């Protein structure tokens, strides 16, 4: 049975960041390496190392004020938390968990950026994660 994305969470350094709007594709692509030799009549390849793109997570900007629509304490000013990790330059644990319990985890550095704004629009920002470990999946 299909499941909704509602309830998907992004954790940065163990903290569930409130306001997650969208996630990137998760996982990697293996590089293709040619191993054709002079006796072959067709090109041959083997799978190489995994290559991970930058992972961009989009959020609604939020303050630390309580929100009656979420659990007490869940609103934790996600931008401020991500920005603190960015400024520190630390490589930290990150993960995404789905409502069915499936999760992806990795370690990496992050950068933040506030997205373009318009009159009467909702402020949004992005966290860009640069993985420096493999992205593992547990289902």
Q: How far apart are CA 99 and CA 6, in angstroms?
A: 7
Q: Tell whether the model's pLDDT for residue 86 goes beyond 90.
A: yes
pLDDT per residue as tens digits for the range 12-36:
999 999 899 999 999 999 999 999 9
Measured CA to CA, the distance from residue 98 to residue 96 in angstroms comes to 7
Q: Report the sign of the C-alpha dihedral through residues 39, 40, 46, 51, in that order.
A: positive
**Tens-place pLDDT, residues 23-78:** 999 999 999 999 999 999 999 999 999 999 999 999 998 776 666 677 666 666 78
Tokens of 123: 């402020």
Radius of gyration of the chain (CA): 19
Please say whether the beta carbons of 46 and 33 come within 8 A.
yes
């Amino acid at each position: 049975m299909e499941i909704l994305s509602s309830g998907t969470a992004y954790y940065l350094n163990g903290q569930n960041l409130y306001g997650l709007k969208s996630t990137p594709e998760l996982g990697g692509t293996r590089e293709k390496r040619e191993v054709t030799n002079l006796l072959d009549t067709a090109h041959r390849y083997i799978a190489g190392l995994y290559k991970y793109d930058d992972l961009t997570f989009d959020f609604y900007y939020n303050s630390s004020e309580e929100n009656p629509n979420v659990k007490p304490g869940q609103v934790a000013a996600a931008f401020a938390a991500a920005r603190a990790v960015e400024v520190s330059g630390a490589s930290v644990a990150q993960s995404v968990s789905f409502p069915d319990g499936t999760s992806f985890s990795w370690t990496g550095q992050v950068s933040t950026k506030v997205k373009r704004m318009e009159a009467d629009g909702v402020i949004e920002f992005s966290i860009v994660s640069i993985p420096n470990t493999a992205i593992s999946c547990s289902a």
